[in-house]
Amino acid sequence: MLRFLVRRLIVALLVAATVMTLAFILTRLSGDLAISIAGPNATQTDIEAVRKAYGLDRPVLTQFFDWVGRAVTGDLGNSYFFQTRVSTLIAERMPVTLTLGLTGLSLALLISIPMGILAAVRENTNFDRAVQMIALIGQAMPSFWLGLLLMIVFGLTLGWLPISGTGSWEHFVMPGIVLAFSAVPALTRLTRAGMIQAMGSDYIRTARAKGLSRASILLKHALRNAAIPVVAIAAVQLGFMLGGSIVIEQVFALHGVGFLAWESIAKNDFPVVQAVVLVLAVIYVALTMVSDLLNAVLDPRLRA
């Protein structure tokens, strides 16, 4: 178990280091940062001043190691636009993104686990086919478009929910539904496949032979085994959701980390862009580690 943990941790650190390098390269893609920051009307002296002020006159490798050295200690540099520390900016915006992500994930699990179980129990009936159709529809639905449609129906026509901002819990209902939609297909399919596999196994036959009730067989025996991959994937899905929430935050004007990144791209605020890429990647790596550990804890066979 310990060896597994250590191995997993080393890989996670290497991935983080690689993403760090990529995030740095990403922001240098445009060639000369100083020209982009100074804007189209800047004179040569302005550009020189900007270059000096932000330390862009130093060799690229020096800049890189400087950034890495600071980032490791939690200092992600200063935002060009907001003139504050990037770490503070991200910390301020993170609660909104996390609330959105957790709302989306909870909704997705609440919808897809019962749907997957019922579809598995009634395999190859019309209900099963309907569930698979819903999964296909969820896969094909563009999230930004679904968001706009919900805004028209529930925001304008029915007037039930606010269409933008983060003032109250009601503000998170529509964005949460839209985000959940993206995870429902995968989670439903996984639950369904897991349940079908479990229901066909020997221990379920034994449980049936013992004369246990149907509910007890389904929920105590089959679901416990089918849930292992679902729980593991749920953690990974949360990582994808945090990265993908940039679109939904923009549609519903939720000022989270994704919105911050989108603003910063538009304003050429490179320290923020590279920091958000790094932070989201590190969160994802951490979540996949949690997912692997959960897998190992729940399923002893994987610990070898």
Partner 1 sequence: MSTAVTVNAGPRRGWKSAGTWIGAIIVGIALFCAVFAPLIVPHDPFAQDLNRRLLVPFWMEGHNPDFILGTDQLGRDYLSRLIWGCRISMLIGITVTIVSGLIGITIGVLGGFFGGRIDDAVLFAITTRLSIPVVLVALAVVGLLGTSMTLLVLTLGLLLWDRFAVVARSTSMQVRNLDFVAAAWCAGCSRFRVLSREVLPNIASHLVVVATLEIALAILLEATLSFLGLGVPPPLPSWGLMIAEAKDYMFFSPWVIVIPGVALFVLVLGINLLGDGLRDAFGTRSRS
The residue ranges that bind partner 1 (CB under 8 A) are 11, 14-15, 18-19, 22, 26-27, 29-30, 36, 123-124, 136-137, 139-145, 148-149, 151-152, 156, 193, 196-197, 200-202, 239, 242-244, 246-247, 250, 258, 261-262, 265-266, 268, 273, 276-277, 280-281, 284-285, 288
Name which of 26 and 173 has its Cβ closer to partner 1: 26
Name which of 72 and 110 has its Cβ closer to partner 1: 72
Cβ-contact 186, 237 below 8 angstroms = yes
Minimal distance, residue 43 CB to partner 1, in Å: 22
Give dist(CA 293, CA 142) in Å, integer. 33
In whole angstroms, how large is the CA radius of gyration of the chain? 24
Tokens of 112: 């897809």
Minimal distance, residue 264 CB to partner 1, in Å: 9
Tokens of 228: 């292992």
Cβ-contact 276, 97 below 8 angstroms = no
Name which of 64 and 144 has its Cβ closer to partner 1: 144
Name which of 188 and 288 has its Cβ closer to partner 1: 288
Q: Is 121 exposed, middle or buried (0-12, 13-18, 19+ CB in 10 A)?
A: middle
**Torsion angle (degrees, nearest 10) of CA 116, 119, 120, 123:** -160
Please give the C-alpha separations between residue 117 and each of 73, 197, 225, in angstroms, as whole numbers.
Answer: 46, 12, 12
Give dist(CA 137, CA 270) in Å, integer. 37
Name which of 102 and 193 has its Cβ closer to partner 1: 193
CA-based nearest residue to 90, from 277, 271, 301, 276: 276
Minimal distance, residue 75 CB to partner 1, in Å: 21
Name which of 110 and 205 has its Cβ closer to partner 1: 205
Backbone angles phi, psi at 78, to 5 degrees: -110, 145
Minimal distance, residue 82 CB to partner 1, in Å: 17
Give dist(CA 237, CA 262) in Å, integer. 21
Minimal distance, residue 74 CB to partner 1, in Å: 19
Minimal distance, residue 138 CB to partner 1, in Å: 10
Minimal distance, residue 124 CB to partner 1, in Å: 5
Name which of 109 and 283 has its Cβ closer to partner 1: 283
Q: What is the DSSP string of 73-90?
A: TT---B-TTT-SBHHHHH
Minimal distance, residue 128 CB to partner 1, in Å: 8
* Sign of torsion over alpha carbons 200, 203, 209, 211: negative
Name which of 26 and 298 has its Cβ closer to partner 1: 26
